[in-house]
Structure 1
Amino acid sequence: MQRLLGCLYRCCEMLAALFMVTIAVLILAQTIGRQLGLVVPDANEMAGYSFAALTFLALAPTFRAGAHIRVSLLITRLPAKLRFGFELWALTAGLGLVLYATWWIIDLAIGSFRYHDVSPGVVAFPLWIPQAAMAFGLIVMSLCLLETLIGTWRGILPSTPHGGEQSE
Structure 2
Amino acid sequence: MEPEESVVSPSVVSSIGGGFAILSGYAFIGLSFLIVAEVAARKLFGVSFQSVDEISGYVVAVVSPFAFAYALMMAAHTRIDIFYGRFRGRSKQVLDVAACLVLAGVAAFMTRSVWQVLLISWKFGTVSIGILSIPLWIPQSLWFLGSIVFLAVAVVQLAMAARGIGTAPDGDNDPNATPNGTL
The TM-score with structure 2 as length reference comes to 0.81
Tell me which amino acid in the other structure corresponds to 1:71. I
The aligned residue for residue 87 of structure 2 is 78
The aligned residue for residue 22 of structure 1 is 30
Q: Contact (CA 8 Å) 2:166, 2:180: kept in 1 or not?
A: no
Q: Does 1:31 align with 2:28?
A: no
Give the 5 Å matches for 1:120-139: 120-139=129-148
The aligned residue for residue 46 of structure 1 is 55
Cα pair distance change 1:20/1:91, threshold 3 Å: same
Q: Contact (CA 8 Å) 1:94, 1:145: kept in 2 or not?
A: yes
Tell me which amino acid in the other structure corresponds to 2:98. W
Q: Contact (CA 8 Å) 1:26, 1:47: kept in 2 or not?
A: no
Instruction: Decide which of 77, 97, 109 is 1:88's aligned counterpart.
Output: 97
For 1:5 and 1:101, locate their aligned partners in 2 and report how far apart those are by CA, in whole Å: 19
For 1:52 and 1:82, locate their aligned partners in 2 and report how far apart those are by CA, in whole Å: 37
The TM-score with structure 1 as length reference comes to 0.88
How many residue pairs end up in the alignment? 164
Tell me which amino acid in the other structure corresponds to 1:111. I
| Percent of aligned pairs sharing the same letter | 23
- Three-state SS of the structure 1 residue aligned to 2:139 is helix
Tell me which amino acid in the other structure corresponds to 2:40. I
For 2:78 and 2:140, locate their aligned partners in 1 and report how far apart those are by CA, in whole Å: 25
Q: Which sections of structure 1, spanning at least 5 residues, go unmatched?
A: none
Q: Which sections of structure 2, spanning at least 5 residues, go unmatched?
A: 1-8, 170-177
Deviations 1:110-162 (A, max 9, x none): 22122111111111012122222221111111111111111121123325564
Kindly state the Cα deviation for residue 27 of structure 1 after the two structures are TM-superposed. 0.7
The aligned residue for residue 5 of structure 1 is 13
Larger Cα-atom Rg: 2
